[in-house]
Structure 1
Amino acid sequence: MIRLHHLNQSRSLRILWLLEELNVPYEIVSYQRDTETRLAPPSLKTIHPLGKSPVIEMDDKVYAESGAITELLIEKFAPKRLRPAVDSADYGTYLQWIHFSESSLMLPLSLKLFIKKAGVLDNDFLNAYIRQEKHKLLSYLNDEVAGKSFIVGNRLSGADMMLSFDLIVLAQREALEDYPYIKQYALQLASLDSYQRAMRLESNYDQST
C-alpha cells in the first residue's frame, strides 16, 4: 500500500492526481498548513527530515520531491501509458517538461508570494525580475501548448501532472488571461475525470476552505 503524506494547497496535488489516474490502492495522511505562516506543520518532520509535502511511503521506503515521486510511480505502475518510450524522440522533451515546472517556472511564482509575505511589494528590482521572467516563461509555454491537449506527444503524461500545480497557482492569481493557449490547456486538464477526483479529495481534506 502506498501512503501519501498530503499537505493542503501544496505540490502534493500533483501526486494526488497521479495516484487517482494510476488507480492503485493508496492511503492519504492529511496535514494542514499553519493559517498564519502558511508553513507545513512540524509533524511532517517525523516522516521526512525536510518536513515538506509530498512525501510517499512505498516498498518500506520514504520518498520526497514531487518530480522524483512522479517519475518513480510512473516507472512502477504505468511506464507505457504515462510517459514516452525511453528510445522515442519524445522522451527527452518529456523529461524537460517534468523538470520545467520546478526548475524554471516555480521561481518567479514563489518570489511573488515571498515578497508579498515579506511586505516588500515596492521593490523595483524584484518586481521587474518577476514580471519579465514570468512573461518569458509563460510565453514559451503558451507557444508550446498551442493546439495541444497535452504537453508531450498529444497524450497524458507525468509532465502534465507536474505542470498542473503551477497552472492552479496561475489561475488563482488570474494570470492566464494573456496566455490563451495555456488557459485552454489548463481547462482541458481540469476536465479529466482523474483530475476532478483529485480536486474533490483536496477540497475534502483542506480544512482552510
Structure 2
Amino acid sequence: MIVVHHLNNSRSQRILWLLEELGVPYEIRRYQRDPKTMLAPPELRQVHPLGKSPVIADGEVTLAESGAIIEYLADRYAAGVLIPAHGTPQRRRCNYWLHYAEGSAMPPLLLKLVFRRVETAPSPFFVKPVARGIARKVLSGFVDPQLKLHLEYLEGELGESEWFGGDAFGVADIQLSFPLEAFAARGGLDASYPRLSAFLQRIHARPAYRRALQNGGEYSLDG
C-alpha cells in the first residue's frame, strides 16, 4: 500500500486528492507544523533529508517533490487517463504545468508570505519603521506586480478550455490547485478573475477532492 507522509496545510494535500481520483488505496502518516514557526516537525527528516512533505513510499520506491510524485503515480496507475501519453504535445503541455506550478507560480507567493510577516512581525520600535518600509516597498514594487502578471497569464490560459491540460480534467489541474488556492488566500485571486474563480469552484466540487479533505484534515493556506 502507498504511504503518504502528510503535513497539514501543505502540498501533500494534492497527493491525497490524486490518489482519491485514482481510487488507489493509501495510508496517511501525519505530521503537524509548529504553530509558531509553521515549519515541519524534525521527524520528517527521518523520511527525507530536507524534512519536507509530500513524500510517498510505494513498495521499494520512495519519492519526494509534488510534480515528480504526481507524474509517477499517474503514469503507474492511470496512464492515458489523467495524464497524456509520453511523446505527445498534450504530455509536453502537462509537463510544463507540472514544473510551472512550483518553479514559477510559487516563488512570488512565498515572497508575499515572507514580506507580509516581516511587515507585521514584532521588532524594536526603532527598527520597526525601517523593516515595514522595506517590506512594503518590495511588496508594492516587485512581489504584487509579479502576482498580477501570473494571475493574468493563468486567467488567459483558461480562455479555450475549463482545464489547464486541455479538454479533460487531469494532473495538471491537481498540480496547479495549490498555487491557485494560495493566490486566492493571499495573492489577489478574486472575482476579477472569473475563469480562475470558476476553476477553483469546479475542483472543490469534485467528490475525490472532498474525500481527500476529509482524510487529510484541516487545510488552510491563509497566513
- Does residue 125 (structure 1) correspond to residue 138 (structure 2)? The answer is yes
- Mean alpha-carbon deviation: is it higher for 159-168 or for 174-183? 174-183
Change (3 A) 1:204 1:117: closer
Structure 1 gap segments, 5+ residues each: none
Any conservation in 2 of the 1:3–1:56 contact (CA below 8 Å)?
Answer: yes
Letter paired with 2:67: G
Cα distance in 1 for partners of 2:171, 2:200 equals 15
Q: How does 1:10-89 map to 2 (within 5 A)?
A: 10-89=10-89
- Does residue 142 (structure 1) correspond to residue 120 (structure 2)? The answer is no
Cα distance in 2 for partners of 1:121, 1:200 equals 39
Any conservation in 2 of the 1:149–1:189 contact (CA below 8 Å)?
Answer: no
Change (3 A) 1:50 1:174: closer
SS at match of 1:62: strand
Letter paired with 1:71: E
Match of 1:194 in 2: 208
Cα distance in 2 for partners of 1:122, 1:158 equals 41
- Give the C-alpha shift of residue 175 in structure 1: 2.3
Match of 1:179 in 2: 193
Fraction of identical pairs, as percent: 41
- Give the C-alpha shift of residue 174 in structure 1: 7.1
Match of 2:115 in 1: 115
Letter paired with 1:192: R
Change (3 A) 1:122 1:19: farther
SS at match of 1:112: helix
Change (3 A) 1:96 1:51: same
Match of 2:122 in 1: none
Any conservation in 2 of the 1:16–1:198 contact (CA below 8 Å)?
Answer: yes
Letter paired with 2:106: M
Any conservation in 1 of the 2:6–2:53 contact (CA below 8 Å)?
Answer: yes
Any conservation in 2 of the 1:90–1:152 contact (CA below 8 Å)?
Answer: yes
Any conservation in 1 of the 2:5–2:31 contact (CA below 8 Å)?
Answer: yes
- Give the C-alpha shift of residue 116 in structure 1: 2.1
Cα distance in 2 for partners of 1:95, 1:121 equals 39
Q: TM-score, normalised by structure 1?
A: 0.92
Letter paired with 1:122: G
SS at match of 1:173: helix
Structure 2 gap segments, 5+ residues each: 120-130
SS at match of 2:89: coil
Cα distance in 1 for partners of 2:55, 2:68 equals 10
Q: CA-to-partner distance for each residue in 1:90-127, whole Å, 9 max, x for gaps?
A: 12111111111101000110001111233345321343
Cα distance in 2 for partners of 1:204, 1:107 equals 24
Cα distance in 2 for partners of 1:77, 1:131 equals 39
- Give the C-alpha shift of residue 57 in structure 1: 0.8
Change (3 A) 1:199 1:16: same
Q: TM-score, normalised by structure 2?
A: 0.86
Cα distance in 2 for partners of 1:183, 1:31 equals 30
